[in-house]
Structure 1
Amino acid sequence: MRWGLPWPGAELAADAERAGAEAFCAGEFADANAYVTASEMAHATTVARSGPGIAYAFARSPFVHAAAMRQLHKIAPGRVFLGLGAGTARMNRDWFGVDSSHPAPRMRELVTCIRAFLEAEDGQRIRFDGDYYSLDAAVRAPVLGRLEVPILLGAFNIHMLRTAGAVADGVLGHGLFTDRWWDEVVDPQLALGAQRAGRDGAELLRWGWVITAVDDENPERAVEEAKRQIGFYLTVKTYDALVELHGWQDQVAAIRAEFTGGDPRNLGRHVSDEMLRAMAVCGDRAQAREMLAERTRLPDLGFLSPPGFLVSPRRRRFYGAQTAELFGQIGAVQ
């Protein structure tokens, strides 16, 4: 596994690049815009790739996504990528005020339209007429020209995975993805989507997030915070298929009961050691190395993500520094 980090800030990013980090990514929320952060990343790095990982797909038009990527390419030529995620139906409706019905076919059209803007030559009229997007754009300015920007989808369910295989350059897996989920669900569905579209599934990028918390002085805290992060993710029913694959229904029921009627700080108490080792790399450096060695199906490029739920920004920076130092020592993981 080659490695990168969620954006840790310019100072730590420089150290991480020197240690071998190949990419940085930016998520977003109510107080953070993925494209604004991606611009900061592009300015502050020299060789690593940078991009949204992920940006809310339906909150922006294809034109806006493509224009942002063109500007990022000017700052970091050949080093940008675009990660897109559908977001939840509630977020799209209540936060963004947009329609997100039929997310997989909608995403397929969105990616197609973004590519149309990114691949257009100067003077080329951009036309598309679909069920969700309609374009007839004549950009009468010398600002276009074909760009090769990898587009990855934050895909979990089979329909979005097939969409990634059909129209995207790959997938950006969630931090909950286990070896079995990659092997038994992600890879077969990507391959099926690619086959149906007449594409080669072997050429698709398989990137993903990896929950990572390393602390030699207080490994118990690192484990506790990694478990709490897993618990927080599993409060979302979207991931029930993964839970059922592993037989973790009882643990997840306890997690959700704690979240709704107990103390969210205790979510990690219901995360078993089996769950932890399947989804995280944590503890002191020796244990982190051991957990890495146990994994049989890490993403090809892993964004080593510090826990964020009830974890301070200062603590997250600490984890980022420890992670960069550890992976700088061990290099890429086979």
Structure 2
Amino acid sequence: MDVDVMTTALPLGDIGSLAARTQAAGFSGMLFTETGRTPYLNAAVASQAAPGLELSTGVAVAFPRSPFITAATAWELQEGTGGRFRLGLGTQVRTHVVRRYGTAFERPGPRLRDYVLAVKACFAAFRTGTLDHHGEFYNLDFITPQWSAGPIDAPDPKVDIAAVNPWMLRMAGEVADGVHVHPIGEPGYIARHVVPKVAEGAMKSGRLPSDIALIVPVMTIVGDTDEERAAERERVRFSMSFYGSTPNYAFIWDEAGFDGTTARIREKQKAGDVNGMAAQITDDHIATFATESTWDGLAAALADKYGDTASRVVLYNALGDPERFERYGEVARQLSQGGALGR
């Protein structure tokens, strides 16, 4: 099991040292989210500061960038990392895409499916000189040598997508190389939805379910004293309330036995009550959706919980205190070397 550290995209001057620390600590790689800063430049700096580190976008917003621009950027990063880059894409939500990016959002699922195929067609064009993609949303059929990145001495980048609902999970299994599971994707949800739906999609395209990577972010509560774990638990509670406010994710809470969680969070959100939002996340929620452990037991706890499903585990809250970061790195090293799996 590979273990990455999750980080938002940071000022470029901060990334090189963080990448070097991440590699030295024992992590397999870094996953860059996209918020106010773009993940691609962060990945480029990290690739030069820590050669050999596996890098991915998790996830970059797809629609504001043309498939060709995204493909060309991923191609350069794949070359710069020596084949250790994964392109993670997502739709974002309508308000951001339309009102912040000024881009169309109609039928986001089918649009993302066509986008992934268009990106892969661009990869093929960089090798062959022929661009030929005609889909429902994107038509690409013109490329000349001076506008092509050309072949590289690495395989095509893997293209992963963020998927939550059953349709998107099936689509990921059909056309993508991996799935970014949602941060509140607890093991029951992964077993009920992610694994079978991805398998359905894989079979549709003549692939094995094992051909599609499952990339699972995990929220952890770690400490050797009750006080340490109590402080971590409150941070996780706030993170879960943020994610839990999205209506499309309500079914995940409901199916896990926490009916109405999203509605209660949204009621507090509309009132501007951030603390009230967090208060809707009970200790029972946290026990189901997070992993709590002592430091010595964390590797085994993660292996027991995700070892049969996850290709990569992404530690959601490893950054922060330098000492804790080093200890998380040792856990990552144990998992990547298989020592905690008992296999």
Q: TM-score, normalised by structure 1?
A: 0.88
Partner of 1:23: 29
Q: Within 5 Å, which residues of 2 pair with 1:46-61?
A: 46-61=51-66
CA drift at 1:23? 1.8
Q: What residue identity is the alignment partner of 2:30?
A: F
Take 1:143 and 1:161, find their aligned partners in 2: how far apart are those partners? Answer: 31
Residue in structure 2 matched with residue 311 of structure 1 by the alignment: none
**Partner amino acid for 1:20?**
G
Which residue pairs with 1:149 in the alignment?
Answer: 157
Residues 1:94 and 2:99 aligned together: yes
Give the aligned partner of residue 4 of structure 1.
Answer: 4
Contact 1:306/1:319 (<8 A) preserved: no
Cα deviation for residue 212 of structure 1 reads 2.8
Q: For residues 221 and 239 of structure 2, what CA distance do their matches in structure 1 show?
A: 10
Structure 1 residue 201 displacement after superposition = 1.9
Quick one: distance in 2 between partners of 1:194 and 1:67? Answer: 26
1:301 aligned to 2:312? yes
Query: Which of residues 37, 46, 51 in structure 2 aligns to 1:41?
Result: 46
Q: Could you tell which deviates more after superposition, 164-173 or 204-213?
A: 204-213
Q: CA deviation at 1:16?
A: 3.2
> Could you list the runs of 5+ residues in structure 1 that have no partner in the other structure?
308-313
Task: Name the SS for the 2:141 alignment partner.
Answer: strand
Aligned to 1:160: 168
Deviation at 1:278, TM superposition (A): 2.2
Tell me the residue number matched to 2:202: 194
AA of the residue aligned to 2:195: D
Would the aligned equivalents of 1:5 and 1:320 in 2 still touch at CA under 8 Å? no
CA distance in 1, matches of 2:174, 2:331: 36
Q: Which residue of 1 aligns with 2:257?
A: 247
Q: Which amino acid aligns with 2:5?
A: L
For 2:117, which of 112, 120, 130 is the aligned residue?
A: 112
* Conserved? CA contact 1:214–1:323, under 8 Å: no
| 1:139 and 2:144 aligned | yes
- Would you say 1:323 and 2:328 are equivalent positions? yes
Aligned CA distance change for structure 1 residues 157 and 222 (closer, same or farther; 3 Å): same
Q: Which moved more, 1:136-145 or 1:61-70?
A: 136-145
Deviation at 1:110, TM superposition (A): 0.8
Identity value in percent: 25
User: Does 1:234 pair with 2:244?
Assistant: yes
CA contact (8 A) 1:16 1:325 kept: no
Contact 1:220 1:283 in 2 (8 A): no
Greater CA deviation, 291-300 or 39-48? 291-300
Partners of 2:324 and 2:273 lie apart in 1 by 24
Does structure 1 conserve the Cα–Cα contact (< 8 Å) formed by 2:72 and 2:149?
no
Structure 2 unmatched runs, 5+: 9-14
Aligned residue pairs, count: 327
Q: Who is 1:276 aligned against?
A: 286
Q: Which stretch shifts more, 16-25 or 97-106?
A: 16-25
2:233 aligned with 1:223, yes or no?
A: yes
The structure-2 alpha-carbon separation of the partners of 1:318 and 1:36, relative to structure 1 and needing over 3 Å to count, comes to farther
For 1:166-177, list aligned pairs within 5 A: 166-177=174-185
User: Could you say what the CA RMSD is over the residues aligned between the two structures, in angstroms?
Assistant: 2.6
- 2:179 equivalent to 1:178: no
Contact 2:124 2:130 in 1 (8 A): no
Q: 1:322 to 1:235 in 2, by over 3 A?
A: farther
